[in-house]
A and B are shown apart, each in its own frame.
Chain A
């Protein structure tokens, strides 16, 4: 088979994971390597009076101990220009705390030793004298009068305010028959991939090139960031991606440790290895999601949505990290969702607290916005005594209204069929039948509920992605791309696109995403962008290669074939492939794509213990076109599983002193196979007209509607008291609390 790969569930080559030969960064070793251990702040907010490293330095095996005094004054830059304002630079994080620590877990010093055990021993002996300061431990208190300042020199705890508006809100509210208002809170939780972060840096003194293993997600940006922070040229830094044990948004952003490990490799002239341990992971790697919304919705008596107003406080943690103000911006962009509003006004604020900094986690902003909006829609439906499905039906934007724009808000829906997608979900799960089952089960004393959510998801964010296809003399093609693999099979998908467009078998193509040396630029794996951006770039590179080959033989591009290391045209003339050069493609994407999805959940509640069990959970997403349906379904199911954990179990708790309460896996409860149902996945394919392959993003989508659907299902199961489902996760304790007050 030499064509027809796109749309086929080609099997992924996963042998290395099955026989144990997969090589994650912890598995890479270099001759003479030393081990770094980060000394972290045990307090949430304090002035550093003194750091005494003498005892640590005297320990066996210890080679060096560094503090902020040993490194240049530098801060980790913001990656995404769309989220950057000059003001936010005041809050960027230095690699090591200088004068003040602002969260438990903030790096204060680094110990380097010959062995990881000895490094950990010595790190305990670094003696830091702290003068503790008052703590901002909560998003709401961050902006109250007289509150402590996380960054005193900035004079405020507000990082950014994102105003977004559309239409005449006052007029729409004035016409409303019904207005409902509530406060809703999404809690702090995060990705927690099974592999913690890790890095290994080595300076090659012969070539002058610094190599960093353990890169992921956004290698090219991390290289740029390190280049400016370390003061060495970009081409002298090489980032290598190994197998990656899950990313989900948090891995691969430039963190303090990226700088520290690279800096130490340069300073000490020996390879430096750092593997984050799990307790560190819970305080060092980005947290996500925590925000509170004050939301007001106006509608007519017959269930037509008119307008909403939202004010939100979005936690940024103690510093603005590489994702800038996305924690405040992304929820704003997703509040309207797939519905026809006459008007809205949104003001989200990014606020600082003395807790681990917040970044993006699978479905960032959209998951939070979907939760608050969809929860309110169910409350509205209850108020109007309307079937929640019917309320949504009446308000979903119809295909004839597309493209639909909420200008001046930068939200435009290009393609899709939202009502059809929604009905598709209801049909597939058998909504009417499910409602009957609910009746029967309730009659027999069970407490069951149905909930759903519809959403739009921003994806395929630009600005561009490049691809390079290099033919080899043995007839194989190496495709270099700048995106990254986080373990879900992007190599297979890009290989399918390349093979189909080149007209060669899959096994003649290999995808290389591992190394910044092989491709000058790349933006990476985030925002469900890899298939759209890199996929189209690969397709363009393949076309370029075909065109170049055809030009050499002076025939139309459609007529040449790549066979056994040769380019052949129909009359039999050939030239060696190696003479053709390489194919290059670049796909620009100035505007992101919004795609539609929905989720439905059936839950039961044990009223005595408050335990919520998910009996059925279905997710639907419009991916435009599924390059590899099976891999896509698995990603959607995995994302939904994480969403169930977020809705019911997982929470990063802090006490009033800013001390984290969930720093071991036993206290951060990720769902196991016992807590999860088989996820039902429905893939919608409504091709995207804005790119040649017709694809939209999909990697995060199973997450986006899941917490909202589960919250609505729990509210439905609780009956009238369900109106009080305003925050997540719905732990047994919280569910019991709601029942107790009934």
Chain B
């Protein structure tokens, strides 16, 4: 089986030829074998990281949002081969050492989820935003959260939760 890196010196990866793709998610190597057309979302889900949800597969709902090199991406809008060599983070890696992330606790406290299907995507979207823009204002956060859809809560509780998590993450600063 060819490896995705081989293209640098070798041939095309043929359609529906499975290739080894070196993905690193949550600091773990994932042993992905998939054809070039496999989306990153499917590659993650087929390799045990099923917390990444598929709500539309066309980039509209945001349920499949993960972090690539620290920034939120829609994993349905990327090929797995394109993520090779990048550092991926999924909802499974959000809690560090068994302790929930401030966002996870805030989502619980503010009723920011009901059916839970959009939750992984919202958590990763917000995690990426707060990492890149820790001091983002309410309107900016609201604008960014409009990227994803939630059908159960209306989204207001999600905004409240992200603002609360931001306060906690900023600690004494804000």
Contacts and interface: CB of A to CB of B under 8 A. Distances in A.
Q: Do A and B come from one complex?
A: yes
Interface of A: 11, 14-24, 26-27, 60, 117, 191-196, 243-246, 248, 275, 277-279, 486-489, 630-631, 634-635, 637-638, 640-642, 644, 664-666, 670-679
B119 interface: yes
Interface in B51-101: 51-58, 60-61, 63, 90-92, 94-95, 100
A738 to B, nearest CB: 27
A634 B55 contact: no
A670 B146 CA distance: 11
22 contacts: A11-B108, A18-B100, A18-B104, A18-B113, A19-B51, A19-B91, A20-B52, A191-B151, A193-B151, A195-B53, A196-B55, A244-B115, A246-B114, A277-B57, A487-B116, A640-B154, A641-B154, A664-B56, A665-B60, A670-B149, A673-B145, A674-B143
A637 B119 contact: no
Contacts of B21: none
B56 to A, nearest CB: 4
A664 B58 contact: yes
Contacts of B114: 246, 487-489, 634-635, 638
Contact of B154 (A117, A488, A631, A638): A638
A193 B154 contact: no
Interface in B120-174: 120, 123, 142-143, 145-159
Contact of A278 (B58, B94, B108): B58
A338 B120 CA distance: 42
Contact of B142 (A489, A634, A664, A674): A674
B57 A245 contact: no
Interface of B: 16, 35, 37-38, 45, 49-58, 60-61, 63, 90-92, 94-95, 100, 104, 107-108, 111, 113-120, 123, 142-143, 145-159
B128 to A, nearest CB: 16
B116 A638 contact: no
In the A-B complex, the 8 residue pairs with the closest CB atoms: A20-B51, A487-B115, A641-B154, A17-B116, A245-B117, A673-B155, A665-B60, A20-B91
Contact of A634 (B111, B149, B151): B111
B145 A672 contact: yes
B116 A14 contact: yes
B107 A18 contact: yes
Contact of A14 (B37, B108, B147, B159): B108
B43 to A, nearest CB: 12
A529 B104 CA distance: 31
A665 B149 contact: yes
A638 B146 CA distance: 16
B104 A19 contact: yes
A673 B142 contact: yes
Given A26-B53, A278-B58, A278-B60, 17 more contacts: A14-B108, A17-B119, A19-B92, A20-B51, A20-B94, A26-B54, A117-B38, A246-B115, A246-B152, A278-B55, A278-B57, A665-B61, A670-B151, A673-B150, A673-B159, A677-B156, A679-B156
A167 B51 CA distance: 58
Contact of A117 (B37, B52, B159): B37
A300 B136 CA distance: 58
A18 B119 contact: yes
B152 A21 contact: no
Contacts of B113: 14, 17-18
Contacts of B92: 19-21
B88 to A, nearest CB: 13
A642 B120 contact: no
Contacts of A641: 153-156
Nearest to B55: A194
Given A194-B55, A665-B58, A676 B155 contact: yes
Nearest to A664: B58
A153 B132 CA distance: 64
A11 B105 CA distance: 12
Contacts of B155: 641, 671-673, 676
B171 to A, nearest CB: 22
Contacts of B49: 20
Contacts of B154: 637-638, 640-642, 644, 671, 673, 676, 679
Contacts of A277: 57
